[in-house]
Amino acid sequence: MAVVTGTTGSDLLNGTSGDDTIQPLSNAGADTINGSGGNDIIEFSASVAGSFFILDYSALGGPIALTIDTTTNTGSVVKSGGTDTLVDVQLAAGYRARTGAGLEVRGTTGNDSYALTTRTDGYFVLYGGEGTDSYSINFNTYAIVDLDFSQGIGGAATTGASINLSTGVIANDGFGNAETISVSGGGTIVLIGTNFNDSLTGTGNRDRFEGLGGSDTINGAGGFDEINFDSTLVNNLVVDLAAGTATGTHNGTAFTTQLISIEDVRGTNQADRMSDSSASDRLQGGEGNDTLISTAGNDNLNGGNGDDLLDASASTGNDSLQGGNGNDTLRGGDGQDNMDAGNGNDLIDASAGSVAAQGNGDFIEPGLGQDTVIGHSGAWLYGGGTEMSYGDISGVGGLTIVSGLRGVGTAISGDGRINSNFSFINHIGGSQDADRFTGTDEQHDEIFEGHGGNDTIDGGAGFDMVDYRYESAWTGPGLAISANLGAGTVTDTHGDTDRLIRIEHIRGTTLGDTLDASGVSTSVMLDGHNGDDTILGGADQDTLIGGLGNDVLDGSAGGSTVMGGDEIRPGAGNDTITGNATNFAGGEGLFITYADLNGIGGLTIAVGGTGIGTTASGDGSKVDTFTYAMFFEGSQDADSIIGSALTHREGFSGQAGNDTIDGRNGWDIVTYERESDYGGNRGIVANLATGVVTDTFGATDTLANIEQIDGSVFNDSMTAVGLTAGITFDGKQGNDTLTGGNGNDTLVGGRSNDVLTGGLGNDTLVGGTGIDRAIIADTFANSSIRAGASGALEVVSGDGTDTFYGVEQLVFVDQTIDTNGLTFPGVTVTGTAGDDDLNGFAGDDDISGLDGDDVMQGYVGNDTMTGGNGSDMIEADSGNDIVYGDFFRVGAAGALPYQVYRMYQATLNRAPDAPGHAGWTQLLMEGDRTLTQVSAGFVGSAEFQATYGALDNNAFVTLLYQNVLGRAPDAGGLAAWVAQLNSGVARESVVIGFSESLEFQNNTFAAADGFIRRYTAEEWSDDVFRLYQATLDRAPDEAGFKGWITNLGNGSAFLSVVGGFVQSVEFQNTYGALDNTGFVTLLYQNVLNRAPETAGLDAWVAQLDGGASRESVVQGFSQSQEFINATNDPLKAWMRGLGEDDVIDGGAGSNKLAGGMLADTFVFDTADGGTNTVMDLEAWDMMEFVAFNYTSAADALAHMVQSGSDVVFTDQGVTVTFVDYQLTAITDDMISYS
């Protein structure tokens, strides 16, 4: 017996004619064992990962019978002259277990048989060759068997193969033989055809095909099946899975292959073009500059190396795009796409698709290089955006990531290998190095992930989050984090120390984190995620989220001045919840919600004195304790909630399930408004007299001792008929029907068109938006209507004395009264220096907020509403209203100030004085004077009369020609005007004819425009912002900014304001000691961020040497076009970063709206309709379109047209004119929708 032992290299091992023991050992390539005579033992015991073995029986004369069972680790080959025994064959084939790379068996020219039984591992290659062979393959998952029909023992196949693995029929094996095959189990067959026209059909499992040459028909027959084209011999490959075709050339010969039930395509090393089917497919380009296109399904596009185009912009699925190395273009579409660009200078474009179809936004990994990343503008405007991460990058010297307006920014690595720009990105992940993040100063919520390194994260404006959930998924060791938001430090999952600035939200890990906001005076959100966390809130109204685990949730910080207590979301586990005693004593308490829980057997929430109590689940998995809680929301199961015996208010929400809620003592509220967030889809039907409510899920809630019900976002029906105690129904959204009882009830319709019936008692009925109707069980003749306080109507009838707000129709027994047709005397309402809540009456009111952040409502009538200083919320309601967010400004009165300017010139032959001009313009704006009455005022003035009063009509008109038009009258014109005066036309009317003539308008426009802009504070916003940047190299402080633009609006010369900056200590500390050359050089650097060009430097220095002031040079720099272009976006971002100033809703009617300075929001609502004129839209203002069903800013823009110098919007009964604005200047970020 011979022993043949190989090496650890690639060996060729030959036995003898006797009984041999063959030991191939391991290899890094392939060992070939040639079949020989005798009963041999072939041992694979030394096989290691990467070792491949070939058993070659092709030289033997007779057939072989191969039997291998890796589940029992046995194998044999019956051959001519003996039987070979295979020892540890499981190791050789175990590619997944990493004990080998696989086993190839080459048969004979005879009728061979192959019987394989595999475990959940194993790779085999079978060459049957010539002869009528048979195959039996019994799979377990993950095993792979290659069946190669391209070659025989004597050479290549001679004809096309016809193989059907589903039926087990091999009609032609490539040599003209009919064979059989049976395949069972869930492994993978790799079916390799010939260079002729093959017909290959798979198993219905996951199969792979290699058709080689020829025009083949390949049918996957179910499963996720792959076709692999030869990487070197195939050229000009075009695959269209939707059409089921693949064309190209194989070794120079053209082919057209039919593809049926193929979902996975592996391309060549050339430039391939592939497109998908309607299913979920994978397209693999390989080497070369490939084009891969996805249109439907959840596709995987892998470009491989080369400059590839991966285009899923028309796809509706959640696609995965991998660019590989090279300068690639990746385009996402609808769905939540994952785009990994790889290294290279790539374009990654996530801008396509609708907002609604974006999910949580696309995920982008740009990789190394100079990349351009384009996020989704609509998702950004809707409050979301696109995620970009460098989490797979390390060793680049850290990243500096800066984001500005519209999520536009740059990512630059310390070593320069990353130098990328991006837009509309709201979720940014850093590298594994020490990174620095700076978020946008726009009011937009962003998410940051620092990953490894000591990161510095400045969120900027908005409610920004740092998320530590996924750090350990990259490279972190998975430590719990310890966050001190007051100190602005976090020890992250790597043990590194992150520094947080302007961060309001932290999300933890799956471990026991400590999140501490002690000492923080603004609202924050702390989310422990999973693990046994300790979470401590700050002094404001915070949100504490426990997640999975047994958490400590401490909301005890803060005081009674906080409006409402913290929101607590305990999650699963046994949690300890602590509220604030002082806050509770002041009438507020914790809001505890379990709405994210289900399948726990329902909750029993029992509330005792001082808001102390317990929550227990029916399945025993949850027992919480809490203190000082006042508002409770149940789970999605059937819950039991029992309020306290205290006499203060408590609130409850049952969510899904048949809930039982007993408020016990005090004023208790049950709300259904949040149920739609968890799947509720219908209006509630509530009978408070019987205590039965059908909720938004269709479940039945049982209520006891409840005094108020807040409805859903759907069409609700609520009744209290039969109750004598006063109750409150609040319909919230939807077309609601609310019916009171016999007590003094309050019914609030909310949004949409509601029907309110107060019943007996002195009721208060509030309509809200929409067309609301109040039902009164008495005749109009037997009732009386009068004006009440705060814009109310009062109706005295047989039902009692009812008070109505915002109700459009009063339905009496005998007739219906439209309240908009009722008129009452107007009132003047004036606020204070604080934050006021100001309401008009039913007449034409004048409401002024003065200072503070005021809430103002005009109600019925043609109101004039002036917000004054502060951030005001102004709702004009019905009537033709005039609304100023700040104060009246002549620049926000359209054409009127130009008319008044011309009136001064025409009558007094001089420029206006600013106060007089503003006064006359405001009278015109607010409808208190007509232009004819203004003209009469001028004509009757002593100044006018001193010039014109004693003249006869002929001389009067002649002097008008001279003073107004600067010329002598033409004979025809003189005669016509004199004839009018002689017939009785008033001189003020003739003056208007001259002042409004086109000739005079053209002559005076430039001077009028300059005057009006000079005396409008908002017109100076950009100039003052640039002055701060140019002189102090920083953004303004808000108080200083307002002060300077107010001074300019009051008439201060701009150069004198420049002087104020130049003479400031802050400016002089930087520039004061410099000579003229140094002064100008530093201006170039600080203002224009570049070195001076020689000609420019010499020209400016020459001006200074010639006596020009430094103020005039600074003015020249600050108002240069180069600096204007560079500061437009920073100005908008700064304005937005100050937060929303005034919110103005004109409501119904024909309204004039002016926001004033800073970033204002104009609200337009389909429920109101209305014709609105926005007098002073600015680039940093927002337009909010409510209930238009828009899904992108483009939807709103599609309804806007340029009309002369104005932009006009018209849709769904709402018309808005934006005065003196260009449609091209309205950008997506100015539009929001809800």
Task: Tell me the pLDDT of the chain averaged across its residues.
Answer: 92
Q: What tens digit of pLDDT does each residue of 180-236 get? A: 999 999 899 999 999 999 999 999 889 999 999 999 999 999 899 999 998 889 999
Q: What is the pLDDT of residue 558?
A: 62
Q: Partners of 755 in the beta sheet?
A: 737, 773
pLDDT at 1062 over 50: yes
Q: Which CATH class is domain 891-1014?
A: mainly alpha
How many whole angstroms separate alpha carbon 1141 and alpha carbon 1158?
A: 6
Among 770-774, 1083-1087, 1142-1146, the least confident range: 1083-1087
pLDDT at 559 over 60: no
| CA neighbor of 229 nearest in space, from 238, 221, 220 | 238
Backbone angles phi, psi at 546, to 5 degrees: -85, -45
Give pairs for 820-824: CB < 8 Å, separation 24+: 820/860, 820/878, 820/879, 820/1148, 822/785, 822/793, 822/860, 823/861, 824/787, 824/861
Mean pLDDT of 51-70: 94
Burial of 353 (0-12, 13-18, 19+ CB in 10 A): buried
Mean pLDDT of 1008-1037: 85
For residues 1171 and 1150, the answer to whether their CB atoms sit within 8 Å is yes
Q: What is the pLDDT of residue 561?
A: 39
**1126 Cβ neighbours under 8 A, 6+ residues apart:** 1088, 1089
Q: pLDDT over 90 for what percent of the chain?
A: 67
Q: What is the pLDDT of residue 74?
A: 96
**515 Cβ neighbours under 8 A, 6+ residues apart:** 481, 483, 485, 506, 508, 526, 527, 528, 533, 534, 535, 536
> What token pair was written down for 797?
């009838």
What is the residue extent of each domain of the chain?
739-822, 828-886+1142-1233, 891-1014, 1017-1137
Mean pLDDT of 869-887: 91
Rg for the chain (alpha carbons), in Å?
41
Where is 134: in which H helix or E strand?
A: strand 134-138
pLDDT at 1073 over 90: no
Distances, alpha carbon 1203 to alpha carbons 366, 402, 1146, 1164, 1211, in Å: 43, 39, 22, 20, 16
Q: What tens digit of pLDDT does each residue of 564-605 get? A: 689 999 999 999 999 999 889 888 899 999 999 999 999 999
Among 943-947, 1071-1075, 1190-1194, the least confident range: 1071-1075
Q: Three-state DSSP class for 102? A: strand
pLDDT at 111 over 70: yes
Q: What tens digit of pLDDT does each residue of 674-705 get? A: 999 999 999 999 999 999 999 999 999 999 99
Q: Do domains 891-1014 and 1017-1137 have the same CATH topology?
A: yes
How many whole angstroms separate alpha carbon 128 and alpha carbon 132?
A: 9
Which of the four pLDDT bands, split at 50, 70 and 90, describes residue 476? Answer: low
Q: What is the pLDDT of residue 308?
A: 96
Among 90-99, 233-242, 1043-1052, 1213-1222, the least confident range: 1043-1052
708-710/837-839 β-pairing = unpaired
How many whole angstroms separate alpha carbon 679 and alpha carbon 658?
A: 15
CB atoms closer than 10 angstroms to residue 1072: 12
Mean pLDDT of 407-434: 94
Q: What is the pLDDT of residue 472?
A: 78
How many whole angstroms separate alpha carbon 729 and alpha carbon 660?
A: 19
Which residue type occupies 754? D
pLDDT at 107 over 90: yes
pLDDT at 560 over 80: no
Angle at 836 (CA atoms; ends 834, 842), nearest 5 degrees:
150
Q: pLDDT: is 384 or 296 the higher one? A: 296
pLDDT at 471 over 70: yes
Q: What is the pLDDT of residue 468?
A: 95
How many whole angstroms separate alpha carbon 139 and alpha carbon 119?
A: 7
For residues 279 and 261, the answer to whether their CB atoms sit within 8 Å is no
For residues 23 and 41, the answer to whether their CB atoms sit within 8 Å is no
**915 Cβ neighbours under 8 A, 6+ residues apart:** none
Mean pLDDT of 528-546: 95
pLDDT at 475 over 80: no
For residues 64 and 85, the answer to whether their CB atoms sit within 8 Å is no
pLDDT at 1044 over 50: yes
For 604-632, letters b (16+ CB in 10 Å) and e give bbebeebbbbebbbbeeebebebbbbbbb
How many whole angstroms separate alpha carbon 251 and alpha carbon 272?
A: 16
How many whole angstroms separate alpha carbon 135 and alpha carbon 509?
A: 52
Q: What tens digit of pLDDT does each residue of 450-468 get? A: 999 999 999 998 899 999 9
**418 Cβ neighbours under 8 A, 6+ residues apart:** 366, 368, 369, 370, 371, 390, 393, 396, 399, 411, 412
Q: Three-state DSSP class for 144? A: strand
How many whole angstroms separate alpha carbon 107 and alpha carbon 65?
A: 9
Distances, alpha carbon 459 to alpha carbons 385, 448, 617, 1140, in Å: 15, 8, 39, 18
Q: What tens digit of pLDDT does each residue of 799-828 get? A: 999 999 888 899 999 999 988 767 777 888
Distances, alpha carbon 813 to alpha carbons 615, 782, 792, 796, 816, in Å: 51, 10, 22, 14, 8
Chain CA centroid to CA 436, Å: 23
pLDDT at 1063 over 90: no
Q: What is the pLDDT of residue 888?
A: 86
Which of the four pLDDT bands, split at 50, 70 and 90, describes residue 563? Answer: very low
Give DSSP secondary structure letters for 230-281. -TTTEEEEEEETTTTEEEEEETTEEEEEEEES--EEE--SS--EEE--SS--
Q: Partners of 79 in the beta sheet?
A: 82
Q: pLDDT: is 559 or 279 the higher one? A: 279
Q: What tens digit of pLDDT does each residue of 241-294 get? A: 999 999 999 999 999 999 999 999 999 999 999 999 999 999 999 999 999 999
CATH architecture of 1017-1137: Orthogonal Bundle (1.10)
